[in-house]
Chains A and B, each alone.
Chain A
Amino acid sequence: MAEFVRVDSSTSSHTMDKSIILPPDEIFRNLENAKRFAIDIGGSLTKLAYYSTVQHKVAKVRSFDHTSKEATNDNLYEISVQEEVTARLHFIKFENAYIETCLDFIKDHLVNTDTKVIKATGGGAHKFKELIERKLGLKVDKEDEMTCLIKGCNFVLRNIPHEAFVFAKHTESEYRFQTTQPDIFPYLLVNIGSGVSIVKVESEDKFERIGGSSIGGGTFWGLGALLTKTKGFDELLQLASKGQHTSVDMLVKDIYGGSYGSLGLTGDLIASSFGKSATADKEFSKEDMAKSLLHMISNDIGQLACLYAKMHNLSRVYFGGFFIRGHPVTMHTITYSINFFTKGEVQALFLRHEGYLGAIGAFLKGAEEDNPNQYSWGENYAGSSGLMSVSPDMNPMQRARSGTFDMLEMDRLERKLVNLPLLQDASSYIPDTVDLIEDAPAREYWLFCFEEALDGVVKRAVASQPDMPEAAERAEKFRQKYRHKLQTLRHQPFAYGSLTVRSLLDTREHCLNEFNFPDPYCKIKQQENDMALKYYQKAVKALDGLSWEQRQFALVRGVLAGNVFDWGAKAVSDVLESDPEFGFEQAKRQLEERPWLVDSYDQWFERLKGPPHKCALFFVDNSGVDIILGVMPFVRELLSRGTEVVLASNSGPALNDVTNGELQILTESIAAMDPVIQSSLEEDRLILVQSGSSSPCLDLSRLDKVLAMVVRERNIDLVIIEGMGRAIHTNYYAMLSCESLKMAVIKNSWLADRLGGKLFSVVFKYEVPITDHISAALTP
């Protein structure tokens, strides 16, 4: 990384800036129980990693013992807030100048640790070895740089969706994030440090340096410094971004007068880098020389990368190292070169957390006994800084302490997450329907929408903890944090990978959790569940009174009407808040009449006349009326037809979505009223599984491993996805290998408008995968 040129550059980098005071609640968090330190010290930046456990509150539901008849209230279940301990990985990046201050800080805050060693990697590790050992009393254990880099790279590719992106300058969205591939291997990593290493990675433990080049970042810096008398790497890049290479380079048109048509070489192509500086007796500007040098080196590296990719038949090529490290200038020139040399066949890929790879890898080396790779990890949006543009004029959002500290936090997820086996093509599956990085009007609307809804969320959060006087203060902190995230995203939509409605919702959940509001809707959900249960039998009875044909339609309308009860949607939460009596029947009246906005009911109805499905997987949405009066009767009908049903609900809370814990209790009490549900549960024809998600949306590529297992065992042949978050914001275009039903009511007028509908328009999308078998049958 670049030397940060200081006025007092004469002082050695060992002289630390002591003036900085580190705020313990922002940087180096959770040090009390930190263990397993790792450090990656580069030319100018230090990356520190540690593992720690985080205590946070979770809302648990527990069934009252109704047989004892002691319950003094009408509630079906009680809510208790419990402490839960989860594992978190912390990564902090800061300038080498702060290393001593940081080490002191860590020493002072490290309470109980049995850690004896610190894993270290990076070129600067040996230089600071003595300092680290003295300050922390830990033994420095050096790890191979490249091994750490690869380990870190595998880890982020596997655990962070949208880790990789292509960079396209001069487009609306410069950062185009890539979907995580089910299999990340094989790939090529081109690490451009002072030199270039090209590594082919075939599996977690199998990688090989297949080549490299001595013309790398050091050449740009060293040669650039000689040519321009400029000291710093960043300054050189600045110069280059202002220069014109055509005055220094000999272009094809300088030789040909135009293009070299028969070879398809255009006139603007560089024929000879620095070719003009030999012939003319003139002065060249620093900017022009720096630009020419940048092109020369980027093109050369791009060409080598392409030749190696071709030689080893690889199409995924990631670029990293200090030459790249988030610099738009070098990302652009490398991308240009790769496009030129492969004619678009290979895309240059960059990584959001490229700067952390070494530290992550070193950490993983030291944590092998904990086997971190057996878990799934998720980026914590609340605790991570996100990708910042390094160019000051592109970065109007200045981070605290002028960008000195950059953080990445990753939570260990309780469950291993895998693809839904029913995805038609897992490698091309994109959960989100709209990419808000590319779609500027949509981005503007949703950022505004989330900002506007913030007051309500804060109010709800405070109300969920009436016994805690400091809740208001915490809620205020939550507000500030989330508002800041929204502002960051407004300026840098690419900061956390793909910007989507889902990521905005998830970020909000992370921020709420951060300030110990694990389930702001728990009380509302409880109330609504209790209320809806009272109507269950009546609703079922009414449905049973209908003819078969009428009933099928009524069931669908029931699910849709139930889905109107959604606190996540502003239009509805307004009504719900002002009129708690807003009833199921009223909701039905609100619904759009057929034909719906998306309407394949007739096909669905035809299908129902046929043989029953073997087993349906139902991704449910909200608590209360939705699950109890909408979904359960629908499920009951499926069961009666002889179809097994798997109900998939969230593992953790998100808005008023029903969680797996709540659904267990609800289903039991419905079973007590309803012999169909009762017997189905007993016969194992109705089962409840958790999705592994705590989001109001649904990423079918990150689901609980157990769910995937159930899907395989039960031969699921129908997937039902319900609700705006799961079936419209996400998965609207998801292609499954079995029949699927997507049902939702559009409770947002902007979105309705976008889709060509109105508020409370209905999406009823029944899809049958086109297989050779079926298409053959359709051919007359």
Chain B
Amino acid sequence: MLKARTGPESPQFNKPLHLKAFPWFGMDIGGTLVKLVYFEPVDITAEEEQEEVENLKSIRRYLTSNVAYGKTGVRDVHLELRNLTMCGRTGNLHFIRFPTQAMPRFIQMGRDKNFSSLHTTLCATGGGAYKFENEFRSMADLELLKLDELDCLIRGLLYVDRVSFNGHPEGYYFENPSDTQSCVKKTCTLDNPFPMLLVNIGSGVSILAVYSENDYKRVTGTSLGGGTFLGLCCLLTGCETFEEALEMASKGDSTNVDKLVKDIYGGDYERFGLQGSAVASSFGHMMSKEKRDSISKEDLAKATLVTITNNIGSIARMCAVNEKIERVVFVGNFLRINTVSTKLLAYAMDFWSKGQLRALFLEHEGYFGAVGALLELHKTTEDP
């Protein structure tokens, strides 16, 4: 892990060997969202301030003084990590996201602001680092440092957990997940994190078995992820955003859409120990035309959410058993403002493993890749 380096640091325009020029960015360009972390130095000396070039200043001001950028860019202010020391510099780490669809506009902005004149390295991970590499080069004269998304994810995650969330633990879990009445959120840290099963739910899902910071493998993945939830919700309900879809889901009742065990067997299926309330067939009621005609959008959204979430839980649980790992950490932007899913995952892990498995969640759910990319910026400094 990166350590703050010792010794006084020279200002950036001297091009020191071991400190990268500002601005410090880390970027994770996913299938649906671009996650951007920005380190805002707060220990800028007057001398530094004076020598700071104008467009660097304007970038800093633009990013830190706004919480929304354009129509779709958002800064998650509540996630900001304050007074962080990185490479001997103190600053605030900002977390910004915008849709991948807006990527061409973002690159355009990079050109308009003459970003290339800053001589910084733009560290990028996620598939978009590869997909948009040429556009960055040709449109904005910017060279990306492309980084593997899973490397970045693990580095970023371990880093954020270690520096803690402004003095509070980064992680949390649910106590009594099987009981809706007494189910409560509890914070925790990943003190001894290995081995862990890391389930990253973005547009799709990747499941990793992590044994140490540099020793991990991708166990499997599934294409039924956040993108599927949103995609199906848009088609089924006409909604347009993730927030809208979740809002609808929170008001719906999936049992009007899904066929439960009791709908088929009248009660529990005792021969196989299946509870009557278990879902037997997702969207099973929708085979009937009458039921299709009378179903509400909210119920459909909820059923979609429950279906996708349960499926991820089920796959994660089996991977945990096959890999003999008891700690399952769920991350990714699918879990953002999505307590329905986090609670359901916690419940599913607990119930199906009879208490053997525990689901853990992290507050900066979708940003670890971007943080990891930022950390790489400093790692590459000494390269000749």
* Contact surface of A with B, Cβ cutoff 8 Å: 123, 144, 146-147, 193-195, 197, 209, 211, 213-219, 221-223, 225-227, 231, 248-250, 252, 254-258, 260, 262-263, 270-279, 284, 289, 296, 299-300, 303-304, 307-308, 310-311, 341
Of B114-122, B165-173, B311-319, B338-346, the segment with at least 4 beta carbons within 8 Å of chain A is B311-319
Q: Which residue of A lies closest to B150 (CB)?
A: A263
Partner of B31, one of A218, A262, A275, A341: A275
Q: Smallest CB–CB gap between A195 and chain B, Å?
A: 4
Q: Does B17 interact with chain A (Cβ within 8 Å)?
A: no
Chain B: interface secondary structure?
Answer: helix
Q: Does B228 interact with chain A (Cβ within 8 Å)?
A: yes
A225 and B223 form a contact (CB under 8 A): no
B315 and A304 form a contact (CB under 8 A): yes
Chain B, residues 178-216, CB within 8 Å of chain A (1/0): the string is 000000000000000000000000111000000000000
A222 and B281 form a contact (CB under 8 A): yes
Task: Give the complex CA separation of A425 and B212 in angstroms.
Answer: 46
Task: Give the complex CA separation of A524 and B206 in angstroms.
Answer: 73
Task: Give the complex CA separation of A96 and B285 in angstroms.
Answer: 21
Q: Does B93 interact with chain A (Cβ within 8 Å)?
A: no
Chain B, residues 220-263, CB within 8 Å of chain A (1/0): the string is 10111111101111111000000000000000000001110000
Partner of A231, one of B132, B236, B289, B318: B289
Known contacts A144-B271, A216-B281; is-contact A194 B235 (Cβ 8 Å): no
Task: Give the complex CA separation of A223 and B229 in angstroms.
Answer: 13
B258 and A255 form a contact (CB under 8 A): no
B258 and A214 form a contact (CB under 8 A): yes
Chain B residues lying within 8 Å of A274, measured Cβ to Cβ, are 227-228, 231-232, 235
Task: Give the complex CA separation of A487 and B130 in angstroms.
Answer: 56
Q: Does B61 interact with chain A (Cβ within 8 Å)?
A: no
Chain B residues lying within 8 Å of A275, measured Cβ to Cβ, are 31-32, 203-204, 223, 225, 227-228, 231
Q: Which residue of B lies closest to A223 (CB)?
A: B283
A226 and B258 form a contact (CB under 8 A): no
Scoring A274, A299, A303 by chain B CB atoms within 10 A of each residue's CB, the highest score goes to A274
A-B pairs, top 6 by smallest CB distance, nearest first, are: A222-B286, A274-B231, A255-B127, A272-B227, A218-B281, A275-B227
Q: Smallest CB–CB gap between A281 and chain B, Å?
A: 8
Chain A residues lying within 8 Å of B235, measured Cβ to Cβ, are 227, 274, 277, 284, 289
Task: Give the complex CA separation of A222 and B263 in angstroms.
Answer: 15
B231 and A214 form a contact (CB under 8 A): no
A304 and B318 form a contact (CB under 8 A): yes
Partner of B223, one of A226, A227, A249: A249
B311 and A277 form a contact (CB under 8 A): no
Known contacts A271-B31, A271-B204, A278-B234; is-contact A194 B284 (Cβ 8 Å): yes
Q: Does B141 interact with chain A (Cβ within 8 Å)?
A: no
Task: Give the complex CA separation of A5 and B226 in angstroms.
Answer: 35
B287 and A214 form a contact (CB under 8 A): no
A303 and B220 form a contact (CB under 8 A): yes
Task: Give the complex CA separation of A341 and B218 in angstroms.
Answer: 13
Known contacts A226-B300, A227-B235; is-contact A218 B128 (Cβ 8 Å): no
Chain B residues lying within 8 Å of A263, measured Cβ to Cβ, are 150, 218
Task: Give the complex CA separation of A730 and B274 in angstroms.
Answer: 49
Partner of A273, one of B228, B236, B284, B322: B228
Scoring A123, A218, A222, A226 by chain B CB atoms within 10 A of each residue's CB, the highest score goes to A222
Scoring B224, B289, B300 by chain A CB atoms within 10 A of each residue's CB, the highest score goes to B224
Known contacts A218-B287, A271-B203, A304-B315; is-contact A227 B236 (Cβ 8 Å): yes
Chain A residues lying within 8 Å of B271, measured Cβ to Cβ, are 144, 146-147
Q: Smallest CB–CB gap between B34 and chain A, Å?
A: 12
B127 and A214 form a contact (CB under 8 A): no
Task: Give the complex CA separation of A433 and B295 in angstroms.
Answer: 59
What would 6 A/B residue contacts be, using CB atoms closer than 8 Å?
A: A197-B272, A219-B307, A222-B285, A231-B289, A255-B203, A271-B31
Give B256-308 interface residues, CB cut-off 8 Å to A: 257-259, 264, 271-274, 278-287, 289, 292, 300, 307
Chain A residues lying within 8 Å of B283, measured Cβ to Cβ, are 218-219, 221-223, 226
A311 and B322 form a contact (CB under 8 A): yes
Q: Smallest CB–CB gap between A298 and chain B, Å?
A: 11
Task: Give the complex CA separation of A452 and B321 in angstroms.
Answer: 61
Q: Smallest CB–CB gap between A427 and chain B, Å?
A: 27
Task: Give the complex CA separation of A223 and B300 in angstroms.
Answer: 10
Task: Give the complex CA separation of A221 and B32 in angstroms.
Answer: 28
Task: Give the complex CA separation of A262 and B131 in angstroms.
Answer: 15
A279 and B315 form a contact (CB under 8 A): no
Chain A residues lying within 8 Å of B203, measured Cβ to Cβ, are 250, 255, 271-272, 275
Q: Does B99 interact with chain A (Cβ within 8 Å)?
A: yes
Q: Does B12 interact with chain A (Cβ within 8 Å)?
A: no
B286 and A256 form a contact (CB under 8 A): no
Partner of B280, one of A194, A211, A260: A194
Chain A residues lying within 8 Å of B287, measured Cβ to Cβ, are 194, 218, 221-222, 225
Q: Does B101 interact with chain A (Cβ within 8 Å)?
A: yes
